[in-house]
Amino acid sequence: MRIDVITLFPELIQSFIEHGVTRRAYDRGKMVLKCWNPRDFADGNYRRVDDRPFGGGPGMVMLAEPLAACLLAIRQERADDRHSAPLIYFSPTGEALNQTWVCESAASANGAVLLCGRYEGVDQRFIDTYVDRQISLGDFVLSGGELPAMAWLDAVARLQPGVLNDSDSHAQDSFSPDLSGLLDSPHFTRPEVWRDLPVPQELLSGHHAQIADWRREQSLQLTAAKRPDLITKARKAGLISAKDERILADKS
């Protein structure tokens, strides 16, 4: 999978992929990443990539033309069109990034082109002409799109085959299909008793079915308490069984 990132700060992206578990995705060739600086495609001695907004107001807006020239160079090098590798723009106006879409992106052989905005944003004409999807991390504003891009890269990289030591690890992640899109259950490790707090006996039983039942019950309870909207969504999708409903009713 190839990922191209349009950013004014390529060093932020490059340094990010050199650390952590997801580095394996790049070391093993599961993902290939290239950063592109739109300043390299700007005219003039100062390589200007921004200007004042029409209508006045604070801040600057990224110019459309350097971004368009940068994108054209990416398309030419990739020898593909916008439909095989979509252009994703990270913006507060975008849809919230979720695990379902991360899984879809991770399964794409063609990867994506990521656009990291800066300043007050990007000229809307470029967005309307070229952007295929806008993504947000939540209801807050960052200084630029690099942090959301790194979050996307991390989430997609860890789903590549062989990146995680245990291939079943991501199947038990919160929001995963194996968990009906619910939150994961709590986790415990050694020692069995820490500061007078014991590990739940169910996890020490060695009884796989009993452990699975406990984890499902905990997942349901935690989701109902923290993210009831996910319970509603799972119900609509037919992913909550009659047994699940009894657990939810008993703990309500």
- What residues are labeled active site? 92, 120, 158, 173
| Residue-by-residue DSSP string for 152-208 | HHHHHHTTSTTSSSSTTTGGGSTT-GGGTT-PPPP---S-SEETTEEPPHHHHS--H
CB distance 125 to 108 below 8 Å: no
- Cα R_g (the chain), whole angstroms: 22
Provide the β-strand partners of residue 2: 32
Strand residues in 7-72 grouped as ranges (E): 32-36, 50-51, 61-62
The identity of residue 171, as a single letter, is A
Helices and strands: H and E segment counts in the chain: 10, 9
Residue 220's nearest CA partner among 187, 184, 188 is: 184
